[in-house]
Amino acid sequence: MEEQKEKPELSQAHLEKPSTTKNRNKAKEVKQTFHCNFCKFTSSRISSVNRHMKIHSTEKPHVCHLCLKAFRTVTLLRNHVNTHTGTRPHKCGDCDMAFVTSGELVRHRRYKHTHEKPFKCSVCKYASVEASKLKRHIRSHTGERPFQCSLCSYASKDTYKLKRHMRTHSGEKPYECHICRARFTQSGTMKMHILQKHSENVPKYQCPHCATIIARKSDLRVHLRNLHTYEAAEMKCRYCPAVFHDRYTLIQHQKTHKNEKKFKCGYCSYTCKQERHMTVHIRTHTGEKPFICLACTKCFRQQQLLNVHSKKQHNINFVPTVYECPKCGKGFSRWMLY
C-alpha cells in the first residue's frame, strides 16, 4: 500500500537505533523500535507507526467516489468501496465464507473454526475473541462506567447501552412493527409485540430441539446455528467445571446457577452473585477509594460516583433534570449530593 505523506508533526516517529557505526553489522540482529509521538504505541515497523499516527489527525484525505465519505487511510477507503461493490477478497480456507476485511476473516475463523481466544483477563479466567469485549469485561472488575449520560446520572460500560438509554430522553423509536406501524425503542420489544399482538398474522416455526417458537424461517436457521450446532471445542460453564458441546445446553445449565451467591465477603455475612459487586462491597470494609477527583482530590469507591460528583460539583453548566409528581406536583431529581 502506498503510504501518504503526513504533516511534519505527524510523520516523524522517534527511532531507537544503535548509537555507534561499529554496530552496523549487528543492526539486523537488533530490533529497531519506532515510537508514536502522541501516545505509548510502538512498533518495529515505521510504516505501522505512520499508519497508527493517523488516528491522532482529523485529516481524511481519501474520499469515496460513490458516496463522498472520507477516510484517514487508503486501506479504510478500499474496505469501504468493497461494501458498495460487494467485493469480498478475504476468503476462509475452512469454509465457503468470504469477507470485506482481513479483520472480519480473522474474527470469523476464531469464532467458527479455531475457537482461539487470545485476549485473556488478568483478574479471572475470562477470555475473548475480540479485544473490545475484553476491555468491556474488565470494567466488570473495576466498576468503571465511562459512558456518561449528559442528561441524568446514568452511566454505562459500553456505548451501545448508553445509546439505548438516550432514547428514554429523546423519545426516539427506531424500530417499527411492519403490521400495525407501532414503534419501539428496542428491537427485542418490537419482536415480542409482533408475537403477542399479531400472532394470527405471523407464521410460527418450532425449533426441533427446544420449546422456542420463531416468527421467521431465517431466524430459526440462525437460532439452530448459534444454539444447537455441535462444537468440537469444549465450552466451559462460567460457574463450575462442567463442559458442553452445544451452546443451548450450556445456557440451560448455567441457569441452574442463577440464584447462587458464590461470592462471600471475608469480613461479614454479605454474599452476591457477581464478583464486581463483591469488589465494590469489600471497599466498604477496607476504606479503599481508588477513584480520585482531579479537581478537588475527593475520593470515591466507584467510578460512577466520581462521574456524578464531577458533573454536579465542577460543571458550572450542569442543570439537573427535575421530574414532577403527576398527583401532588412535587419535584424530584435522580441526582444525589456527593
pTM listed for this prediction: 0.43
Over residues 155-179, mean pLDDT: 86
Highest mean pLDDT: which of 16-20, 35-39, 113-117?
113-117
Q: Can you give the pLDDT at residue 1?
A: 43
pLDDT tens, residue by residue, 68-108: 888 888 888 888 888 888 888 888 888 888 888 888 888 88
Q: Can you give the pLDDT at residue 7?
A: 44
**DSSP 3-state of 68:** coil
Q: Can you give the pLDDT at residue 11?
A: 47
The amino acid sitting at 103 is G
- Dist. CA 226–CA 214, nearest whole Å: 14
Q: Can you give the pLDDT at residue 25?
A: 53
Which one-letter DSSP state was computed for residue 145?
-
**End-to-end Cα spacing for the chain:** 53
pLDDT tens, residue by residue, 1-19: 444 444 445 444 555 544 5
Over residues 158-170, mean pLDDT: 86
Q: Can you give the pLDDT at residue 4?
A: 47
Rg (CA), the chain: 26
Contacts of residue 69, Cβ cutoff 8 Å, sequence gap at least 6 = 63, 80
Res. 268 pLDDT band, cuts 50 70 90:
very high
Q: Please report which helix (H) or strand (E) contains residue 191, including its range.
A: helix 187-197
Highest mean pLDDT: which of 28-37, 55-64, 117-126, 215-224?
117-126
Do 173 and 167 touch, CB atoms closer than 8 A? yes
- Dist. CA 288–CA 292, nearest whole Å: 11
Do 117 and 233 touch, CB atoms closer than 8 A? no
**DSSP 3-state of 55:** helix
214 has which bridge partners?
205
- Dist. CA 165–CA 274, nearest whole Å: 23
- Dist. CA 119–CA 134, nearest whole Å: 6
Q: Can you give the pLDDT at residue 240?
A: 84
What are the boundaries of each domain within the chain?
Answer: 8-18+27-56, 261-288, 291-333
Q: Is pLDDT above 50 for 161?
A: yes
**Percent of the chain residues topping a pLDDT of 90:** 4
Contacts 24+ apart (CB under 8 A), 146-149: 146/303, 148/307, 148/311
Q: Is pLDDT above 90 for 285?
A: yes
Cell 458441546 locates to 245
